[in-house]
A = this chain, B = another copy of it.
């Protein structure tokens, strides 16, 4: 006898409800361990792989080229330390997670940036050596927002790899098949710039969710198939053996979603923010307050992120301005948050201006989806008020 209520039976009906007795592998059945072979585990693995495939599609890669990590710092570390030991070429305007990590490779050359905050591809070319394993150049700088000529650098490396196709050093023999590997840290670029890895010509690329309006605690290292890396730590086969530890499926899904959204609105946001940025810069440059006080716009005026305005007002410490602005409700950055708390001018500012004094701090205004013209106007007004007050003490 079939009950007429059958079709109305709630899903939580006891006899059909799933019994979860795998709390030891993951305490929430809504987030079972993707490594488990029961159906809830398989469903999680499926979600993870779908997120992986979506992300791959958005950057022109294949799913098995997407390695989830705990964030961009770990992804940059994996890119640098996961390669065999050898010489690394990078720049003097990298994020600390590249700058510091490169020192733990066999040898490193820091290519100096030009005064406009942009790296000359020829200089990268000239730094290559027979035992170079990696070139790592930040796509858009995190402090001054300057955009690096990634495609041109990739071309130089390809030429070099063609000219010297055979390993010429014991470091490389039998280890790096494709020649010198090219990595870019695209964390600041993700919202605004071209991300197709084929078009860019990169072998490795780092990005994360937190900088594109997503969760903390998840990042990606894109790894071209032919690049061989070894993992930084041990104890599981996850992420193709490159990143042990139970996968964070919810965060991976969030990253896929936010990357899709960033891609969708990229064009219009670039247009809108470029206008706002240029309005901001123009107002700064033509302000009465800078008649007697010098103001420096750090980094190239055109080849910079649409959301970045970074200035130095010589003689006034950046941290002081950040705190004064914060007290008036305006939240801006000084140097990289990862290096905040350290004294003196930022390394990036010193890199573009070797004469910069420790007191010549920079202030970074980085705009985003919620930023309006009214925000910029109030920010300018607040900044000018503060400068008037500070000018009595400084200068």
Contact = CB atoms under 8 A, between A and B. Distances in A.
Interface of A: 14-29, 31-41, 70-74, 76-77, 81, 95-101, 103-104, 142-143, 145, 188, 191, 210-218, 232-238, 244-251, 307-308, 319, 322-323, 325-327, 329-334, 336-342, 364-371, 374-375, 378-379
B38 A235 contact: no
A83 to B, nearest CB: 14
Contacts of A341: 35, 37, 237
A101 to B, nearest CB: 4
A96 B246 CA distance: 12
Contact of A374 (B14, B21, B236, B369): B14
Interface residues of A: mostly helix, strand, loop or mixed?
loop
28 contacts: A21-B367, A24-B188, A24-B308, A24-B364, A25-B333, A25-B336, A25-B337, A26-B337, A27-B210, A27-B214, A32-B331, A35-B341, A36-B331, A36-B337, A37-B334, A37-B340, A73-B236, A74-B233, A76-B235, A95-B235, A96-B234, A97-B233, A97-B244, A98-B235, A210-B246, A217-B217, A237-B338, A237-B342
A245 to B, nearest CB: 4
A11 B210 CA distance: 26
Nearest to A341: B237
B237 A333 contact: no
A329 B216 contact: no
A89 B18 CA distance: 41
Given A216-B249, A216-B251, A232-B233, A322 B38 contact: yes
A378 B371 CA distance: 56
Nearest to A36: B337
Number of copies: 2
A20 B331 contact: yes
Contact of A245 (B72, B327, B365): B72
Contacts of A191: 27
Given A23-B211, A23-B371, 18 more contacts: A22-B331, A24-B142, A24-B143, A24-B307, A25-B333, A26-B210, A27-B191, A31-B210, A36-B331, A36-B333, A37-B334, A37-B340, A38-B332, A73-B233, A96-B236, A216-B247, A217-B248, A237-B339
A368 B249 contact: no
The 5 closest A-B pairs by CB, nearest first: A97-B235, A23-B368, A70-B70, A35-B337, A24-B366
A331 B39 contact: yes
Nearest to A17: B329
Most chain B beta-carbon contacts within 10 A, residue among A24, A72, A250, A371: A24
A37 B318 CA distance: 11
Given A323-B37, A366-B24, A19 B236 contact: no
A144 to B, nearest CB: 10
A25 B18 CA distance: 43
A77 B331 contact: no
A15 B250 CA distance: 37
A12 B70 CA distance: 34
A319 to B, nearest CB: 6
Given A37-B326, A38-B322, A331-B19, A100 B234 contact: yes
